[in-house]
Structure 1
């Protein structure tokens, strides 16, 4: 019972911090430069890893699907599989997981270190709301960068798939890129960007909340970083399933 009460309390703190961060969103001048700083930091720590993850991922999908398609005599379907899987599922998930793993852990450790040094309490003593000053820009920065990472994931995965499917397996470039327009629609891209925005926001929300509520010790900060990463991953996978299910029910895939 005590564990359940503690969990519900943490969920309540999470939503309170998030709503309080939203409350002063309109006052852009108070957090704009921190937002720019966080965007630059997240871009710097996630852009190269997302390319390194997406290239072999696209190549692996192209290699496995290409072998199966070759046996079935449908080599041109490889491009469709790579683009469809990347745009609908891989791109938002890859951007969100890197935001949570690289950027979110840094957010948790930074805010947690401020917490154990009583910097948050000092800000409150100076009539500065630490949530408005620290959490609000991080929420918007993480969601913005997550959306901007989506094109990088798509291009990198498409490049890796192109190498194996066209150069190694001999499929024509026209047949490979035909999949980008045959099975995909504008709604697929819009939903992908929406999912990336939501996932980035969730990553920052959990990371900031864990940092502000961590135990006042270095070990407490370390546990908060680990907990924030695990919770973010679970929430992202759950939300991805829910959003994808609703989308496919509302817009069934086109048959060819």
Structure 2
């Protein structure tokens, strides 16, 4: 009876062991990467190259997503505000949406869908070609020369993308509100700080930095642990998108709740 119970639970344990082992491996990888950031020498040239690479593949999707998201939000809120005779406060709602919600949301979508997948595919291709093993044989640490620059580049570009989303979103909301819905331009701009202040901006910048850091770590982990040839690289890219979405939305909820409490 005892042996049969053990045999019945062993498949469940084996199914749980694989994802738990992957989670533990990721946290160990992330800790090693964070520690390697403070080690020298720092691959500054690789950091510049990766920053430009992530910015290049992410900038246009960021602008194309920021405009419709903001315009749709401003249009919806302005309809209600006009009915109540409070159209002058539309700038306050545009600022709240662009800074606290639309900016982080668009950053999540772009970083996970464009930046993280590109980094994962690059590292995955290097892994299956055994370039990382060749670096280890030559005494070069791949974590310090390849992973750290990509993680820092994703973090920095994520913060910059958030700033782009806020600027583009507020500009698009201003144009749409003033020229389409005939809101007073001075009242629209003056209402920016009616609800939103520097604390909201700092919290959103923190979220953007955490988004980039998490996306970079997940992409690099999946890229450096890929197996199964080219098909494995494709699977790793798909998994990177899914895991990055899950983690980034969780970070958004946690940091937003903490910011509201503060």
Greater CA deviation, 179-188 or 189-198? 179-188
Tell me the residue number matched to 2:207. 195
2:125 match: 113
Task: Tell me what 1:253 maps to.
Answer: none
Q: Are 2:165 and 1:161 aligned?
A: no
Map of 2:101 onto structure 1: 89
Indicate the structure (1 or 2) with the bigger Cα radius of gyration.
2
1:95-134 equivalences under 5 Å are 95-134=107-146
**Superposed displacement of residue 148, structure 1:** 1.0
* Residue among 178, 192, 201 paired with 2:190: 178
- Deviation per CA, 1:31-80: give whole Å up to 9, x if none: 11111101111111111211111111111111111111111211122211
Tell me by how many angstroms 1:28 deviates: 5.1
User: Secondary structure at 1:237's aligned position in 2?
Assistant: helix
Name the Cα RMSD after superposition: 1.2
- Number of aligned positions between the proteins: 250
C-alpha distance in 2 between matches for 1:30 and 1:63 = 47
Q: Which runs of 4+ in 1 moved over 3 A?
A: 27-30
Normalised TM-score (structure 2): 0.92
Distance 1:49 1:110 in 2: 20
2:50 and 2:105 mapped to 1: Cα distance? Answer: 20
Q: Equivalent residue for 1:254?
A: none
Query: Which residue number in structure 2 is paired with residue 62 of structure 1?
Result: 74
Which segments of 5 or more consecutive residues in structure 1 lack a partner in the other structure?
Answer: 251-256
Deviations along 1:119-160, whole A, 9 cap, x unmatched? Answer: 111111111111111111111110001111122101111122
Q: Name the structure 1 match of 2:25.
A: 13
Q: 2:247 aligns with which of 235, 239, 256?
A: 235
Cα shift at 1:26: 2.3
The SS at the match of 2:182 is coil
Distance 2:40 2:67 in 1: 37
Q: Is the 8 A contact 1:59 1:162 kept in 2?
A: no
Task: Please say if residues 99 and 200 of structure 1, whose CA atoms lie closer than 8 Å, have aligned partners that are also in contact.
Answer: yes
